[in-house]
Structure 1
Amino acid sequence: MLDVRDLQPQDLAGLTPEAIAQLAARMLGHIREQDERIGCQAREIEFKQAEIEFKDAKLRKITFELARLKRWKFAAKSEAMNAEQRRLFEETLAEDEASLRAQLEQLQGKAAASDGDDGGGTKNKRKPKRQALPADLPRVEHHHEPEDTNCPTSGCGRPMVRIGEDVSEELDIIPAQYFVHRHIYGKWACRCCQCLKQEPAEPRIVDGGIPAAGLVAHTLIARFVDHLPYYRQEAIAARSGVHTPRSTLAQWSGRGGAALEPLYELHKAFVLSSRVLHADETPVAMLDPGAGKTKRAYVWGYARGAFEETPGVIYEFCAGRGAQYPIAFLRADDRHGRRCWQGTLVRDEYAAYDSVVDANAWPHRIAAGCLAHARRKFDELVDASSVAQEAVQRVARIYRAERKFAAMTAAQRLSAREAIAKPLWDEMHLWLKLERGHVADGSAIAKAIDYSLSHWDTLTRNLHDGEVPVDNNHLENQIRPWATGRKAWLFAGSELAGQRAAIVMSLVQSAKLCGRDPHAYLRDVLQRLPTHPANRLEELLPHCWQPSV
């Protein structure tokens, strides 16, 4: 039988129709086989191509991770350190520099003395400009006058005239000084009526105890602002000859925290009166006595809008990170006459916040995103991706524009954003969508782009409301004291202790935001609280407080 592939046109001459039909059928079958073979090869090529792209993306991801690990391991130590470590390194460097300069000055002084040099080589050396000491600090004057004010010139000896003076100032300190208040209550009696009269004892925060309001405030500030554990405070007091066991210090703090709780509730109502609210959370270890170890708890922070004229921040210590905690915190409270919070919530994209701003449950709440979080996704890839570098530069242009709007009113800021910032956002949005089509699925840069694109509506909420900031950095800065504190006192002893810390830190951090001295504020408040009228308690809030005369 002839092979159809070898047939020539002349071979078909004289064939019967049946033979030609058979040949045609065989040729069609051969063509179908070829088509099937080509289709299989095409599908195999597509599969191989997809597999290659997946492997390339995985290789790029692994390469990025390796590069980051190498940078952490082998980069300059100043870059590998965190902020606290770098600060310690810089402090040590300053100490070493000062020590070496002192040794050098001593050596130069000895050399000048031995060579008879008058020091002219260093006389004209430019001195660093020193910041003036605060004018409100008390001054102790020391007068230095010559013992003999007669002219030392031989043959003269006449009295000299004072023509001026040079003044130099040096800063000194008296360590914390303990002193005792003696309250003497005179007794007055009428011998005729057998009547006794005496002033009642003044109410105090620790009734019947030895600490005055100032000492309770000092203990709270040392614990929650300076982050000194009680055992360190005990040792510091012992150097002054005062015995204050850590258990006693803890009891004073407990009494102080309980006294401040009504003020905390009023402050909570003030913070939640803001139409724009920041929210964030941070983990804190809490002792779990039953398990003999610590477990993870969380501090939730809420701050009034970054552009509010009167700032304020409040914290809540919670056992977990679920959505039920912020939902409960923001709902109405009939006991304190507080309505359910409504407004714009500035937060990161943690899933728990979706329930807090759910339009079906809370129709008067709006979500706003954080540009700083979106930027961090790209900043982690800057060394490995040119796309990430371009994204960071585009975000920087938006921040430069926002800095110019900071001092404006809400209406002016909204107008300026429409004219200047919105084109930058639109260009970035279009650029991100174009770049997303050029990067492989599953790669790190694709995930960074997807984060921004999927949350674009919340990231650009600031373009619709002049009171909404572009990020949540305002509150993140107020969360940092908790990160510093947990490294000092390590964990909260109980949920009640954590909430007490939240009460104190809410008030003192808000006082700092309002430009108040936290110790002066807390001392005065604790002094006045026992006798202050309950209907005028708002006067003691951080933003309303005025020192007592």
Structure 2
Amino acid sequence: MQLDLNNLPSDTTLLHRLVRDIAETVQHRDSEIERLQSIIKQLQRAQYGRRSERLDAGQLALGLEDLGVDVAAVEADQGSATAVPRPPNPRPKRKPLPEHLPREDVVLHVDCESCGCCGGPLHAIGESVSEMLDWVPAQLRVVRITRPKYACRTCNKVVQAAAPERPIAGGLATTALLAHVLVSKYCDHTPLYRQSQIFARHGVDLCRSTLAGWVGGACWWLEALHERLCKNVFASGHLFADDTPVPVLDPGRGRTKTGRLWVYVREQRPWSGPEPPAAVYLFEPDRRAQRPVSHLTQFKGVLHVDGYAGFEHLTSNGDVVLAACWAHTRRKFYEIVEATGSPVAAEALRRIGELYAIDARVRGKSPAYRLAERRSFSKPIVEALHSWLEAHLPRLPATSTLAEAIRYALSRWEGLTRFLQDGRIE
């Protein structure tokens, strides 16, 4: 809005309307500035904060490793040159080595059993024991399977033991070697071409295509286990659901595309449930609502979810009840406090923190006990928080980030308060 300050209207009504228009424009711009500042703060935390993905813990540890090596080399060089005795340290700097590791004893006796001073005989009065951590390098070996043949002299029938079934038909790899290749690839993030180079250093030529065939064959065997795990997990009455983006190779385009890894978790330890913890991962190329619907066709019960609207499709037949996540609600207020220092957002965090403290006190207890405690202590806090949020929402600019956070919480209030009806809900 541009104003000609030298030609303002003299009509009071027009001036009032002009002032209102200016105030509305300023309020809108202030809200937009606040929103953009919040986005900038989030990007700064993503790059420089604790949850940075630009420099992850592994990359930082790699840099610190190099620095530690250089420092140790300098200290060793100085120690060999000056040989200054260090003051005794009353506390050990390192943790003791784990007890489950095998021990190999190396006893160092003195060169002579008689005293070098007077020639008298020596007798044992004690010993000093220290430990060093050793590494036994992995080695490849060839398992030779011999099946003797036997023949009957009477009828000339030949008898021989059946050949054992191999995990990969016609393959050379034992189950132990397949497990090593899979763990190296998926847990240690060692690509197959690097594993091929490692095997070559052991004198065994295993090309990448051979290793890829082993991985594919092993995954075929694991599909049955995955299906069994899915059936077991989806038979539970309480699950947690979430998804995360993963980069996927896009052949022919020279780049990666974004897929989604969906996870469904069974966790009953907070309410002393009978089933052990378990997690099922399912890959999909996108985040469409039909993905969780297809995954959970056999599931009936309570599903703990975030604010993704696609989960709402699961409730159409009444078999699935959604419990909203307080952590996602809290995070929105936390980001506002970090970005703007809003006292209203800080107060919301304090009230949610009271709910967290009550739940921490009843974690591991029976569902009945948890429900009774929540209805006695958590319910008044939740009701007061709801009234407090509704009272503050009209006072805020509609487009502000704080108003968005409050609307996010109020629109999911039924799911957020589900834990007051079932002691098994987190």
Correspondence for 1:128: 92
Post-superposition Cα deviations, 1:328-369, rounded to whole Å, max 9, x if no partner, equal 2221xxxxxxxx211011111111111122xxx321210111
Cα drift, residue 78 of structure 1: 6.5
CA distance in 2, matches of 1:247, 1:326: 34
* Match among 384, 395, 408 for residue 365 of structure 2: 408
Q: Once the two structures are aligned, what percentage of the paired residues are identical?
A: 34
Normalised TM-score (structure 1): 0.69
Alignment of 1:317-356 (within 5 A): 317-331=283-297, 340-356=298-314
Q: Is the 8 A contact 2:238 2:266 kept in 1?
A: yes
Post-superposition Cα deviations, 1:400-451, rounded to whole Å, max 9, x if no partner, equal 3222222212111112222233333233323322332332110112111211
Cα distance change of structure 1 residues 312 and 80 upon mapping to structure 2, 3 Å threshold: closer
1:385 aligns with 2:385: no
Instruction: Tell me the secondary structure at the aligned position of residue 300 of structure 1.
Output: strand
Cα distance change of structure 1 residues 443 and 152 upon mapping to structure 2, 3 Å threshold: same
Instruction: Tell me the secondary structure at the aligned position of residue 123 of structure 1.
Output: coil
Cα drift, residue 183 of structure 1: 0.6
1:315 aligns with 2:281: yes
Alignment of 1:46-85 (within 5 A): 46-65=20-39, 81-82=52-53, 85=56
Alignment of 1:136-147 (within 5 A): 136-147=100-111
Cα drift, residue 142 of structure 1: 0.9
1:148 aligns with 2:105: no
Normalised TM-score (structure 2): 0.87
* Match among 142, 154, 172 for residue 134 of structure 2: 172
Cα distance change of structure 1 residues 296 and 364 upon mapping to structure 2, 3 Å threshold: same
Equivalent position amino acid for 1:327 in 2: V
Equivalent position amino acid for 1:163 in 2: I
Alignment of 1:297-316 (within 5 A): 297-307=259-269, 308=273, 309-316=275-282
Cα distance change of structure 1 residues 132 and 159 upon mapping to structure 2, 3 Å threshold: same
Cα distance change of structure 1 residues 91 and 406 upon mapping to structure 2, 3 Å threshold: farther
* Match among 250, 255, 258 for residue 217 of structure 2: 255
CA distance in 2, matches of 1:348, 1:202: 49
Instruction: Tell me the secondary structure at the aligned position of residue 154 of structure 2.
Output: coil
CA distance in 2, matches of 1:427, 1:311: 35
1:241 aligns with 2:203: yes
Correspondence for 2:159: 197
Q: Is the 8 A contact 2:45 2:52 kept in 1?
A: no
Q: Is the 8 A contact 1:78 1:86 kept in 2?
A: no
CA distance in 1, matches of 2:291, 2:50: 37
Cα distance change of structure 1 residues 392 and 270 upon mapping to structure 2, 3 Å threshold: same
Cα drift, residue 265 of structure 1: 1.6
Instruction: Tell me the secondary structure at the aligned position of residue 141 of structure 1.
Output: coil
Correspondence for 2:7: none
Cα distance change of structure 1 residues 442 and 269 upon mapping to structure 2, 3 Å threshold: same
Correspondence for 1:453: 410
Cα drift, residue 325 of structure 1: 1.8
1:185 aligns with 2:136: no
The structure richer in helix per residue is: 1
Instruction: Tell me the secondary structure at the aligned position of residue 245 of structure 2.
Output: strand
Q: Is the 8 A contact 2:46 2:54 kept in 1?
A: no
Higher relative contact order by CA 8 Å / sep ≥ 6: 1 or 2?
Answer: 1
Correspondence for 1:399: 356
**Greater alpha carbon shift after TM alignment, 179-188 vs 226-235:** 226-235
CA distance in 2, matches of 1:256, 1:124: 54
Correspondence for 2:5: none
Instruction: Tell me the secondary structure at the aligned position of residue 336 of structure 2.
Output: coil
* Match among 103, 112, 116 for residue 74 of structure 2: 103
How many residue pairs get aligned? The number is 410
**Greater alpha carbon shift after TM alignment, 457-466 vs 41-50:** 41-50
- The RMSD of aligned alpha carbons is 2.7
Structure 2 gaps of 5+ residues are 1-10
Structure 1 gaps of 5+ residues are 1-36, 114-118, 332-339, 470-549
Equivalent position amino acid for 1:191 in 2: R
Alignment of 1:394-543 (within 5 A): 394-469=351-426
Cα drift, residue 68 of structure 1: 5.7
CA distance in 2, matches of 1:151, 1:321: 81
Cα drift, residue 163 of structure 1: 1.9
Correspondence for 2:8: none
Structure with max Cα Rg: 1
Instruction: Tell me the secondary structure at the aligned position of residue 460 of structure 1.
Output: helix
Cα drift, residue 190 of structure 1: 2.1
